[in-house]
Amino acid sequence: MEDVTSLRRPDDRGQLILVTGLAVAVVLVALVLLLNTVIYTENLATRGADVGGRDAVEFENAALSGVGGVVVTENAADHGTAEAATENVSEGVGRYADLLERGYLERATVAELSNLSVAEGVTLRHGNETRTFTSASDAENWTLSTTVGEGELRRFRVDAARDRLASSSSRSFRIVLNDGDDVWRVFVYREGEDIVVAADAGGTPTKACSVTGDRATFDLTDESLDGGACSFDFAEGIDDPYSVEYRYGGAVNGTYSLVVNTSGGANVADSNFAPGPDSSPYASAAVYSATFDLHYRTPRLTYAERLRVAPGESE
């Protein structure tokens, strides 16, 4: 009987190895192609989601900026009644929303602002640059607002001329927050050519920042001086509600303004203000904040949010 093995030619083994190697190579190439396809698909999906997400964020930022701009602009108009302030803000937001939505509709995107509601407020303003920061009846120590709660005071800006400022924190102009038990104070005075802002929570004033110049603007709720950061821990140690008071108002002249949320419970000390913008200081109706629904829809993304805008509110 013949040996079967002896009938197999030597080159058969080589062909078998070659075929097996080719088969393995084909399998490896297929796996690589499959893996690359999966990676490409995931990257494309992620990139697509990011693009849609970025567009939605862009729309939200434009809505917040635009509505906030309408509120600030209308509040500068010295409205005589809360109804007039509310109506003008509502109409302004409506016009802005129409323009914004139309631009996105051209991209085949449904982007909407709706269900606007506003919180009423009052702007307390002093516009006579040569007059000191005394009350309408010329009191140096007086109250601007009472029962101010968290989130009920914003855009508190003071533009002070250097020449009239006291030369030290002693008997210098100061803004006082008083909750009945504790006080927080910010002082404005001069040191040579500098205007200085200092603060304390019932102790010794600590210098927070200074700027050289004939006048400077500092923002109490934004904690800034002439646009630069000025960290003085606004309302540190103060509980709600609190009053906003001026001390030594005769030691400064310039302008100031602030907005309080009368819808939230803050009260204005009306007797300390003039009846209208022809005299300083005076109070005018304003919108403290605006809240609205935002909807953003594309074939691949749906996003909705309830947003609130209160420009310059302390956090």
pLDDT > 90: percent of the chain: 74
* Structural domain contains residue 154: yes
Could you read off the pLDDT of 123-158 as tens digits, one per residue? 999 999 999 999 999 999 999 999 999 889 999 999
* Structural domain contains residue 77: no
Q: How many domains does the chain have?
A: 1
* Structural domain contains residue 57: no
Q: Which pLDDT band, with edges at 50, 70 and 90, does 52 fall under? A: low
Which structure tokens are listed for 294?
Answer: 């935002």
User: Is pLDDT larger for residue 9 or for residue 171?
Assistant: 171
pLDDT > 70: percent of the chain: 83
* Structural domain contains residue 152: yes
Could you read off the pLDDT of 64-109 as tens digits, one per residue? 999 999 999 999 998 999 999 999 999 999 999 999 999 898 888 9
| pLDDT of 8 higher than 50 | no
Which structure tokens are listed for 157?
Answer: 């800006």
* Structural domain contains residue 93: no
Half-sphere exposure of 49 (CA within 13 A, CB side): 5
φ, ψ dihedrals at 55, nearest 5°: -65, -40
Strand order from edge to edge, sheet including 242-247: 206-212, 194-200, 183-191, 173-178, 242-247, 142-148, 267-268
165 SS3 class: coil
The model's pTM: 0.79
> What's 235's domain CATH number?
2.60.120
Number of other CB atoms surrounding residue 171 within 10 Å: 14
Buried b (16+ CB within 10 A) or exposed e, 93-112: beebbeebbeebeeeebebb
* Structural domain contains residue 268: yes
Closest to 219 (Cα-Cα) out of 183, 189, 193, 256? 256
φ, ψ dihedrals at 310, nearest 5°: -145, 80
Q: Which domain holds residue 149?
A: 128-280
Mean pLDDT along residues 180-188: 96
| pLDDT of 29 higher than 60 | no
* Structural domain contains residue 7: no
* Structural domain contains residue 253: yes
Please say whether the beta carbons of 124 and 283 come within 8 A: yes
| pLDDT of 14 higher than 60 | no
Mean pLDDT estimate for the chain? 86
Could you read off the pLDDT of 237-265 as tens digits, one per residue? 999 999 999 999 999 999 999 999 999 99
40 SS3 class: helix
As a whole number of angstroms, the distance between CA 118 and CA 290 comes to 4
Closest to 168 (Cα-Cα) out of 216, 204, 201? 204
Closest to 243 (Cα-Cα) out of 171, 149, 156? 149
